[in-house]
Structure 1
Amino acid sequence: MTKIYGIKNCDTMKKARAWLEQQQLPYQFIDYRTDGLSAEQLAHFAAKCGWQNLLNTRGTTYRQLADSDKADLTEQKALALMLAQPAMIKRPLLEHNGHYTLGFSVTTYQHVFGLSA
């Protein structure tokens, strides 16, 4: 089963979900805020995607952090921040056939699902 992780109100999430529905591809949506996220899940995502890739440094939540929180980021510190504030996780995170894809682009999703342009 294809899974897509993120936050319901995110515009990029809405685009990704709309694309999946237009292609009639079944998926399970997991909302970090309502469904929760365990430290184990987050560590697994970081192992698959890289914690630096998983951390959304462009988002408002990250930019509003105190400079001391952003200084000297390690994997452990970044994971703790993302677990406390799931909006800091880059979205969407698509899990399909054991592979993980961050972000959304039509071209990338077409490739992931083996669809032609």
Structure 2
Amino acid sequence: MKLYGIPNCTTVKKARAWLAAHGHDVPFHDFRKQGVDAAWLRQVCKQAGWQALLNTRGTTWRKLSDADKAAAGDEAGAIALMLAQPSVIKRPVLERDGHYHLGFAEAQYQDLFGA
């Protein structure tokens, strides 16, 4: 099990706090410090869909030029953008038992962990 994201992201903080409070010591992969791997992105996109992984609601997306947004209109373009701008990746990404779970909601994690 591993949690991926950016440590100062509010949603990532909530997920990490929930996991810790429920006794789960989960390794954390910091996109900014440890980078993002293209093969990992393709794997997550294959399972969750590139549209779900690309965060079009965040500040980073809103600050992009129209040309950059248009270039992310397919999987290859979205992956290129996520490699260049990891903060446009939906956070957190929880990898558990070979499955990827995007975002955090307490009910979602309760279902996942049977808490």
TM-score relative to the length of structure 1: 0.93
Match of 1:47 in 2: 46
Name the residue aligned to 1:59: 58
Match of 1:85 in 2: 85
User: 2:15 matched to which residue of 1?
Assistant: 16
Equivalent residue pairs, number: 114
Higher helix share: 2
Alignment RMSD (CA, Å): 1.0
User: Which segments of 5 or more consecutive residues in structure 1 lack a partner in the other structure?
Assistant: none
- Aligned equivalents of 1:64, 1:107: Cα separation in 2: 31
Pairwise CA distance, 1:99? 1.5
Q: Which residue of 2 aligns with 1:94?
A: 94
**What SS does the corresponding residue of 1:104 show, helix, strand or coil?**
coil
Moved over 3 A (4+): none
Task: Return the offset for 1:68.
Answer: 1.3
Q: State the distance in 1 between where 2:53 and 2:19 align.
A: 22
Residue 12 of structure 1 aligns to which amino acid in structure 2?
A: T
Normalised by the size of structure 2, how large is the TM-score? 0.95
Q: Which moved more, 1:14-23 or 1:37-46?
A: 37-46
| Cα drift, residue 38 of structure 1 | 1.2
